[in-house]
Structure 1
Amino acid sequence: MAEVRPELQIMLESMRRVVVSSERLRTQMADHLGLALGEVIILSLVGYPDPVTPTELAVALGRNASTITAAIDRLETAGMIERRSHPRDRRKTILVVSEEGERALSWLRDLSVRAFGEHSRDALIDMTKTFEDAAAALDAQSRLLESEPYRRAPRG
Structure 2
Amino acid sequence: MSEHRGDSQIMPLVPELVERHVGCVALKVGQVVFRLLEVELVEQLGLRIRHYSILATLSQSGPMSQQNIGSDLRIDSATMVAAIDELEQRGLVRRERHPDDRRRYVVTITSDGHETLEEISTLIDKFDSEHFADLTTNQQAQLHKLLEKLSRGTTLATAYDRVRGS
TM band (smaller chain): 0.5 to 0.7
**8 Å Cα contact 1:30-1:40 kept in structure 2:** no
Amino acid across the alignment from 2:147: F
Q: Deviations over 1:73-99 (max 9, x none)?
A: 22111111112465x746453212222
Q: Establish whether residue 112 from structure 1 lines up as the match of residue 124 from structure 2.
A: yes
Q: Establish whether residue 127 from structure 1 lines up as the match of residue 143 from structure 2.
A: yes
Cα offset for 1:68?
2.0
Q: Establish whether residue 24 from structure 1 lines up as the match of residue 36 from structure 2.
A: yes
Match of 1:68 among 80, 103, 113: 80
Q: Which runs of 5+ in 1 are unaligned?
A: 148-156
* Counterpart position of 1:145: 163
Q: Establish whether residue 94 from structure 1 lines up as the match of residue 106 from structure 2.
A: yes
**8 Å Cα contact 1:43-1:97 kept in structure 2:** yes
Cα offset for 1:124?
5.7
Match of 2:46 among 28, 31, 34: 34
**1:8–1:46 CA distance, 2 compared to 1 (3 A):** farther
Aligned mates of 2:31, 2:51 — CA distance in 1: 18
**1:61–1:48 CA distance, 2 compared to 1 (3 A):** same
Cα offset for 1:18?
4.0
**1:21–1:125 CA distance, 2 compared to 1 (3 A):** closer
* Counterpart position of 2:13: none
**8 Å Cα contact 1:76-1:82 kept in structure 2:** yes
**1:29–1:7 CA distance, 2 compared to 1 (3 A):** closer
Superposed CA RMSD: 3.4
Aligned mates of 2:44, 2:19 — CA distance in 1: 38
Amino acid across the alignment from 2:149: D
Q: Secondary structure at the match of 2:64?
A: coil
**1:12–1:74 CA distance, 2 compared to 1 (3 A):** same
Q: Secondary structure at the match of 2:59?
A: coil
Cα offset for 1:112?
3.0
Report the structure, 1 or 2, having the larger strand content. 2
Report the identity percentage. 20
**8 Å Cα contact 2:52-2:120 kept in structure 1:** no
The runs of at least 4 consecutive aligned structure 1 residues that moved more than 4 Å come to 5-8, 122-125
Cα offset for 1:64?
4.2
